């Protein structure tokens, strides 16, 4: 499987900023830029997941029930889903450097609103605002990372930029949760605000002007939504990563009820899972640069195998905890390849495609949690979400195979068609 949908249809994408060389940036400290971009991802990942561990504290402080407080998690996810395509279209003409800094400013201010919000309703609004820049930041950040890295190292750069999200699960979430439990949940949000402010300053300081990285325009970005390969690739993520989240949602209950482990072991398992994600991002980036789409398929196949292994070993306790590392590693290894595939198939609409990847992952989060809940409610027990997750991962592979097959068919058709002038844009896929 190649990393693009077809030779005939991908040429505009290949000439795009993220795919082309960036010789003027070779002298810049590209690694430092990637580190700062990852720092922003670290803050975003921390605020996204910390609310899950502080629901009792938040509910008590805001005088609502825990199920009601859980709406704050859903509201953040809604902000991600809405904000990703909206910002990609409305900010299409904004220079990438200005846009990235602006997105981090918006994220920081959105979290700061939670610090002064007096009641549940205003905290809900603040969570929605904080979620709006999430997808666009990762989408634009991935394009910038790939552009600076140049050909042959794009996916590795994307993986390094995304690593902040993984490290957040290992370091950021546990630290913020501890702060929230001992000082108050707003202290955890204050930590995120500090990280956001530091990221804004660091981005202004180290991010190059990116004058050789052209902007887009709203019509081009919207026209890209007519490209079938974008939707197929997003479906790969929405379905395939659903298994990842089905497992994650019920990990606590599986280890304590089936593995008979104390709750004190759950943070260890979560840290193992996060460490696996960090490893997977690094390994997956290198594999994607070498293997293209095959890296996505291999990552999802490995995820399915690891989930089945977890289901088989969960009753044994500690061996299942070790398996959580491999689930995190396998699942996250597919993300850099998925992100760069979207760059390749999106043609000139790369901003909206890259941002929508994170909307798709949030859909996967909701889908996985829902399916996991369905199988548990049906009486199949806490082993079932991992098995259902394996089925979703395999379904993601099937969608990927279909997407590549369709791309090859279109490529074959293009080779036999008479070239027709199109005025620069190749039409929809």
Lowest mean pLDDT among 228-232, 317-321, 384-388: 228-232
pLDDT of residue 17: 40
Q: Residue 16 — very low, low, confident or very high, per pLDDT cuts 50/70/90?
A: very low
- pLDDT value, residue 397: 95
Q: How high is the pLDDT of residue 428?
A: 37
Write down the pLDDT at residue 41. 92
Q: Decide if domain 220-429 falls under CATH 1.20.1250.20.
A: yes
**pLDDT at site 304:** 96
Half-sphere exposure (CA, 13 Å, Cβ side) for 331? 35
Output the pLDDT for position 411: 66
Of the listed ranges 102-106, 268-272, 353-357, 377-381, the one predicted with least confidence: 353-357
Which is more confident, 132 or 159?
132
Confidence at residue 24, expressed as pLDDT on a 0 to 100 scale:
45
Where residue 20 falls among pLDDT bands split at 50, 70, 90? Answer: very low
Q: Over 70: is that where the pLDDT of 9 sits? A: no
Which range among 69-73, 161-165, 288-292 shows the weakest confidence by mean pLDDT? 69-73
Res 176: pLDDT: 86
pLDDT tens profile 53-89:
677 788 888 988 866 777 787 788 888 888 988 888 8
Give the whole-number percent of the chain exceeding pLDDT 70. Answer: 88
- Structure confidence by residue, pLDDT tens digits, 335-362: 888 888 887 887 777 778 877 887 888 7
Instruction: Tell me what pLDDT residue 412 has.
Output: 66
Q: Which residues belong to CATH 1.20.1250.20 in the chain?
A: 18-213, 220-429
Confidence class for position 429, pLDDT limits 50, 70, 90 = very low
Orientation of helix 228-240 relative to helix 242-249, angle to 10°: 20
Distance CA(293)–CA(349), nearest Å, equals 20
CATH of 18-213, one of 1.10.3720.10, 3.10.450.230, 1.20.1250.20, 3.40.190.10: 1.20.1250.20
Measured between alpha carbons, how far is 307 from 309 in angstroms, rounded to an integer? 5
* Overall average pLDDT of the 227-236 stretch: 88
Please, what is the average pLDDT of the chain? 82
Q: How many residues does the chain have?
A: 429
Structure tokens at 300: 């999802």
The average pLDDT across 223-240 equals 86
- Percent of the chain scoring above 90 in pLDDT: 31
């Amino acid at each position: 499987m190649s990393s693009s949908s077809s030779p005939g249809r991908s040429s505009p994408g290949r000439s795009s900023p993220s795919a082309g060389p960036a010789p003027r940036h070779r002298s810049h400290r590209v690694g430092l830029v990637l580190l700062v971009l990852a720092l922003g991802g670290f803050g975003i990942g921390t605020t996204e997941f910390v609310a899950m561990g502080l629901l009792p504290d938040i509910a008590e402080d805001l005088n609502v029930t825990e199920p009601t407080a859980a709406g704050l998690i859903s509201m953040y996810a809604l902000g991600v889903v809405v904000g990703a395509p909206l910002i990609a279209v409305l900010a299409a003409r904004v220079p990438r450097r200005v846009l990235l800094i602006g997105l981090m400013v918006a994220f920081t201010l959105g979290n700061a609103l939670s610090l002064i919000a007096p009641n549940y309703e205003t905290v809900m609004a603040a969570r929605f605002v904080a979620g709006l820049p999430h997808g666009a930041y990762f989408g634009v950040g991935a394009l910038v990372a790939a552009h600076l890295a140049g050909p042959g190292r794009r996916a590795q750069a994307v993986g390094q930029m995304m690593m902040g999200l993984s490290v957040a699960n290992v370091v950021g979430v546990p630290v913020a949760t501890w702060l929230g439990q001992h000082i108050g949940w707003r202290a955890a949000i204050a930590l995120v605000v500090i990280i956001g402010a530091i990221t804004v300053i660091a981005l202004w300081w180290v991010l190059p002007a990116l004058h050789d990285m052209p902007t887009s325009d709203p019509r081009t970005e919207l026209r890209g939504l007519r490209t079938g390969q974008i939707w197929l690739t997003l479906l790969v993520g929405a379905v395939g990563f659903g298994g990842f989240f089905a497992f994650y949602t019920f990990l606590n209950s599986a280890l304590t009820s089936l593995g008979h482990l104390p709750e004190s072991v759950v943070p260890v398992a979560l840290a193992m899972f996060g460490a696996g994600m960090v490893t997977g991002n690094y390994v997956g980036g290198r594999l994607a640069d070498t293997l293209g789409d095959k890296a996505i398929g291999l990552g999802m196949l490995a995820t399915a195998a690891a989930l089945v292994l977890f289901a088989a070993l969960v009753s044994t306790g500690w061996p299942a905890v070790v398996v959580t590392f491999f689930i995190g590693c396998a699942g996250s290894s597919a993300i850099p390849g998925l992100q760069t595939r979207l760059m390749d198939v999106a043609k000139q609409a790369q901003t909206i495609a890259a941002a929508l990847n994170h909307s798709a992952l949030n859909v996967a989060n909701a889908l996985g949690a829902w399916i996991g809940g369905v199988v548990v409610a049906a009486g199949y027990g806490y082993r079932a979400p991992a098995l259902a997750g394996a089925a979703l991962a395999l379904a993601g592979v099937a969608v990927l195979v279909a997407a590549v097959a369709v791309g090859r068919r279109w490529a074959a058709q293009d080779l036999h068609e008479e070239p027709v002038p199109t005025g620069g844009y190749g039409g929809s896929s």
